[in-house]
Structure 1
């Protein structure tokens, strides 16, 4: 039997964030066992905690979707860190260091909140006009709705659009069949100034919408803060259309963009994997 947690990420209230399944002590599990359990949980991601290989890391994590393994993802990073700490993990230094397929990722604690340092982009820069036209068709957007577009791939493969406002983001009714090869698309739009949140974010993955997405918010933060289109520190809302209340805290500290949020332990137990 292995220790198991289910963590709600980017929320301070259980059932309003993005859930993550975490299996501790995953030594000895095969790739197929991990993949099969991830398919069974049917969550956007399931993680498996292992002893680190790198000398500077506190733990190693493997991240599986229902369809395969990811080198990095945001809400699994924060949820795995919370589960590792809850199980008695003690970091070697002030910040936790997570080892994953994308390398080493720092995770810091500020009170009860966890935040990760955004990894460098695998692919960034402008989007080809033909690709942008296809994505706009899939999201049923008009040309005047879109302010900008960037590749925002830090592992999962995001393409991101900046829209004119949060109202336009929330109004999107996508045509899932029209995405084609561009099946991981994020959109962001500003809320009126003075509110609790500065931006509204949505993430579309093939035929589904992800409730709250750390990797996408990390890449958006790098883009918008880096180009002066967002303040040095802000809070983004995500999951509104799914009746969630995700809150993602993004800030620049020196050369790093940090992406943080609250985490809630929803389920604690054990799991027997065949």
Structure 2
């Protein structure tokens, strides 16, 4: 065991302590799989990452991502948070303005633009596959979430490493009200993300809910949100709501934009129901690449004996 640089980073919020926390072991070289998993279990955060020397040409750093129970090939807030930690620890990218991250999913480009305070870092959303599903499978998911079929505008089963059910609802207020049946969600082993868009700015206010009305009254601030997102995991018989989920927002954005449900750029809010203030900034470049950005803050910095 030896001392290793360690950071804890808050990701996807402009307000410290309102985002998604991430543990980063900056000097991860020499640790075994079992040691990494044990430390991730001990931190008890949704993800813990380990920075390692690269194995692929062109990569600036390599990371491995662990939940308390298993390793992930890719995840969104660990990607932004680890890049933030690497840069804060003195990392220098080979190309100005672009960091190339190596992970089990492959090489992931991350744009660096500190002039954009709301989203100084943004990762290129990795390819996402849309999996086939049956109406019977969908019915089980809807039942677990307490939803009726006619409340759903569209749905998809999305895979960009993690596998998510994605449900687009008609009403933002309904998104905020939902309480899943934890046992039912666990029984079908489903990770579910759902969202609804705020009403268009040019619609009439008459008859709109208070949440929709606030959508019209929002200022033009960088973190004003266009869509409300919630994500539930089924790791135990008690469903866990994720504060902000970069991987879901990445595959969800690709699907929503391709299906014509929303145009980029847009801002997704997440974590509202659990007292977080997540903001995920989604853009799409001229080549069609979707980028997922947000703010990060270093809240703990020191050494860990590992």
Shorter-chain TM-score range: over 0.9
Does 2:228 correspond to 1:225?
no
In structure 2, what is the Cα distance between the partners aligned to 1:22 and 1:41? 10
The runs of 4+ residues in structure 1 deviating greater than 6 Å are: none
Alignment partner, residue 96 of structure 1: 99
Tell me the CA shift for residue 169 of structure 1.
0.9
> Which residue, 99, 108, 127 being the options, matches 2:133?
127
- The SS at the match of 1:72 is coil
* Counterpart for residue 159 of structure 1: 165
Q: Distance in 2 between matches of 1:193 and 1:172?
A: 23
CA displacement at 1:127 relative to structure 2? 3.2
Instruction: Say which SS state the counterpart of residue 130 (structure 2) adopts.
Output: coil
Tell me how far apart the structure 2 counterparts of residues 6 and 228 of structure 1 sit (CA, whole Å).
38
Secondary structure of 1:124 counterpart: strand
Q: Superposed, which structure 2 residues align to 1:37-116 within 5 Å? A: 37-94=39-96, 95-111=98-114, 112=117, 113-116=120-123
In the other structure, the counterpart of 1:205 is 233
Q: Which among 193, 215, 238 is matched to residue 270 of structure 2?
A: 238
Native 8 Å contact 2:140 2:188 kept in 1: no
Out of 154, 174, 190, the residue aligned to residue 168 of structure 1 is 174
**Other-structure match for 2:299:** 266
TM-score normalized with structure 2 length: 0.87
Corresponding residue for residue 215 of structure 1: 247
Which deviates more from structure 2 when the two are superposed, residues 4-13 or residues 186-195? 186-195
Structure with greater Cα Rg: 2
TM-superposition CA deviations, 1:65-108 (whole Å, max 9, x none)? 01100000000000000000000000001310000000000000
Kept after mapping to 2: 8 A contact 1:115/1:259: yes
Distance 1:174 1:239 in 2: 15
Name the TM-score, length of structure 1 as normaliser: 0.97
Alpha-carbon distance, 1:125 to partner: 4.4
**In 2, Cα distance between the equivalents of 1:127 and 1:198?**
28
**SS of residue matched to 2:140:** helix
The 3-state SS of whatever aligns with 2:147 is coil
**How far 1:181 sits from its partner (Å)?**
3.2
Query: Do the aligned partners of 1:58 and 1:96 also contact (CA within 8 Å) in 2?
Result: yes
| Shift, 1:126, TM fit | 4.7
- Given that residues 269 and 279 in structure 2 are in contact (C-alpha distance below 8 angstroms), is that contact kept between their aligned partners in structure 1? yes
Counterpart contact for 2:131–2:159, Cα < 8 Å: no
